[in-house]
Structure 1
Amino acid sequence: MRITLVLICVLAVAFRSPDKPAYRLYTPNLKGTTYAKLLRQATEADVVLFGELHNDPICHWLEFQLTKDLQAAKKGNLVLGAEMFEADNQVALSDYVQGKTTAKELATQARLWPNFNTDYKPIADFAREQHIPFVATNVPRRYARLVSRQGLAALDTVSTEAKQQMAPLPLTVDLTLPGYKGMMDMMGGSSSPGSTTSSSSANPHGMTSDMTANFARAQAIKDATMAYFILQNLKPGQTLLHFNGDYHSKNFEGIVWYLRQQQPSLKILTISSVEIPDINKPASENRNLADFVIAIPVDMTKTY
């Protein structure tokens, strides 16, 4: 009899234990919210910036779900865009989405990310099925690399054709924005841009302030280019759902800042993704990251 009672108590405790949700959604003030509210607000937005963690399966699954639900809600007035495709690969991406080429041909014609097949191909295939325009928004990496090594002035030397694959020049970069400043500080370039002095103790990466400033400027040319091609491909009444790394849009900076410079009245909705130990207890540092914050368990399995 006692064994039976113990077993019943154990089972009762087990059945009362909480579920293990894969994610939770929060408002900017870290109040719990729902996917239904996110979808409703996304449907009303001109631009939705989904800040993902590149190797997180929950992010990619939610991106796919949001794509499908927005397509149903917008009834054909949906456009997709992504950091993961560079502007000079637009023809290859469009040909695939329009059903003109195969996945194998796309792989030979475009610079696809290593996790394309698992993480982005389902969205590209849905766009192909539903005839959804898909915009390659990122600057070709060779030009971002050029900026990181030589600064923005180096872009003056590229061809006219190359300049059509990036935001219009000259480009304004505000290195005092917290995101860019934080990037510079992380790389060890806290001294003012222009200084070439640094010490190994103060700068573990061995980079001068000019080098770290150029690193931030390379991030900015990506942000500005993504904003530029978003606006170039957005028509009234449409919603453009854009996939990008979280750092490109969190804290309402990066892409958001450049969009606001050109169209202050644009309705922008941002989503930020964070991994935390307990998704039911987000820390204050996760406050005001975005319009919606996706909290994901830190031990979530990775796609690569």
Structure 2
Amino acid sequence: MKNEFLTIRFMKLKSLFLLLLLSNIAFAQLKTENYKIYNTQSKSICSLEDMIKSLVLADVVFFGEEHNDPTGHQLESDVLQKLHQLNGKKQTLSMEMFEKDIQQVMNEYLQNLIREKNFIKEARAWNNYNDYKPMIEYAREKELAVIAANPPNRYVNLVTRKGLSALNPLDRSAKKWLPPLPIDTATGAYYKNFLKTMGGHTVPGMEIYQSQNLWDSGMAHSIFQYLKKNKGDKVFHILGRFHSDEKLGTMAKLLKYNAGLKLSNISSFSDKSFNEPDWSKFSHLGDFVIITNPDLKRTF
């Protein structure tokens, strides 16, 4: 019986090792011909290394992604690792993909106290968690902090249904997961972009747009709180690119909390013009624009 148990355990460990090996091989297949980086300040194509030289000067770097772009996900992990090599223990990872009320679960996993399957379940990980797993595992290996930045979805949904005023009756224990109320709803360019994303139609009652502003304010306040407690640290924040394109959304909210922060942003997405992009159409989106091969983009 004992030998049988040891054999089964060995086979499980062997399978796990092979899975990790295959995962690492797949992750290593990032090819430079599948992405192009454009420096909007110098108006020129640049290398990943040149981009890092600029990003390392920022207090907070925003990587605006498309959630179903595997090349973008691989680049995120590369950028995190390269920033960490330069910033050391001061480097922190922050993610839209995890909600603020699971921060303890995140910390327990990073400290190797709980199993991955418990982490995935209790942290309410996204269905495409494997896209973000390399960054989480890197942070765990290198003992880097990870900020679960998003306000809890139940409150975002509440605002979507009933508007921002629906947050007012929540008690103090609930509001600790939220940014300070009331929340300013950005207008102007950000609202126009939101309407464009919604198909160009006016949003009845504005509740959906208000929930978008809660989302942005929540992520911004999570980063602000962390940096207030950990002065001198650097944050690499992963989020959907709508939240940071044109330095609006979350970026604008963060500067309202601390106008002295130096911020940089990347807008990364696949585009059918990949072979011959007209960069003038994209240069307003961020400090760096990354276009990836659209043939590799997934559908959920």
Q: Structure 2-normalised TM-score?
A: 0.84
What's the secondary structure of 1:112's corresponding residue? coil
C-alpha contact (below 8 Å) 1:252/1:270 kept by paired residues: yes
- 1:170-194 CA distances to partner (integer Å, 9 max, x unpaired)? 1111232x22233235536755xxx
In structure 1, the partner of 2:209 is 216
Tell me the residue number matched to 1:260. Answer: 255
Q: Paired residue for 1:13?
A: none
Are positions 1:132 and 2:127 aligned together? no
- Cα distance in structure 1, aligned partners of 2:196 and 2:63: 25
Q: 1:84 aligns with which of 78, 81, 97?
A: 97
**AA paired with 2:209?**
A
1:165 and 2:171 are equivalent in the alignment? no
The more displaced of 154-163 and 221-230 is 154-163
1:59 corresponds to 2:65: no
Q: 1:303 to 1:92 in 2, by over 3 A?
A: farther
Question: Which aligned runs of 4 or more in structure 1 are off by greater than 6 angstroms?
Answer: none
**Residues 147-158 of structure 1: pairs in structure 2 closer than 5 A:** 147-158=159-170
Residues 185 and 51 of structure 1: CA distance in aligned 2, closer, same or farther (over 3 Å): closer
- Stretch deviating more after TM superposition (292-301 or 273-282): 273-282
Deviation at 1:303, TM superposition (A): 7.2
* Structure 2 letter corresponding to 1:82: M
Deviates more, 1:220-229 or 1:235-244: 235-244
1:295 aligns with 2:291: yes
1:230, CA displacement in angstroms? 0.5
Hey, what's the Cα distance between the residues in 2 that align with 1:22 and 1:189? Answer: 32
The one-character-per-residue Cα deviations of 1:158-216 (angstroms, maximum 9, x if unpaired) are 2211111111111111232x22233235536755xxxxxxxxxxxxxxx63x1xx2111
Matched AA of 1:246:
R
Deviations 1:198-239 (A, max 9, x none): xxxxxxxxx63x1xx211111110111100010111233221
Q: Distance in 2 between matches of 1:73 and 1:174?
A: 35
Shift of 1:123: 0.9
**Aligned partners of 2:299, 2:226: CA distance in 1, in Å?**
30
SS in 1 for 2:96: strand
Q: Which has the larger radius of gyration?
A: 1
2:239 aligned partner, one-letter code: N
Gaps of 5+ in 1: 1-18, 192-206
2-structure distance, mates of 1:128, 1:220: 31
Partner of 1:44: 57
Offset of residue 109 of structure 1: 1.4
Q: Is the contact made by 1:39 and 1:69 (CA closer than 8 Å) also made in structure 2?
A: yes
Give unmatched runs, 5+ long, in structure 2.
Answer: 1-30
Task: Please give the alpha-carbon distance, in whole angstroms, between the structure 2 residues aligned to 1:143 and 1:279.
Answer: 38
Matches within 5 A, 1:72-151: 72-116=85-129, 118-151=130-163
Instruction: Give the partner amino acid of 1:43.
Output: V
- Paired with 1:188 and 1:121, the residues of 2 have a C-alpha distance of 33
Give distance in 2, aligned partners of 1:82 and 1:268. Answer: 16
Alignment TM-score, normalising by the size of structure 1: 0.83
Output the CA distance in 2 between the equivalents of 1:175 and 1:142.
24
- Matching residue's letter, 1:222: W
Report the CA distance shift for 1:20/1:62 in structure 2 as closer, same or farther (over 3 A): closer
Sort the Cα spacing of 1:122 and 1:20 in 2 relative to 1 into closer, same or farther, 3 A. closer
Instruction: Check conservation: 2:40, 2:288, Cα contact below 8 A.
Output: yes
Q: What is the root-mean-square deviation of aligned Cα atoms in Å?
A: 1.9
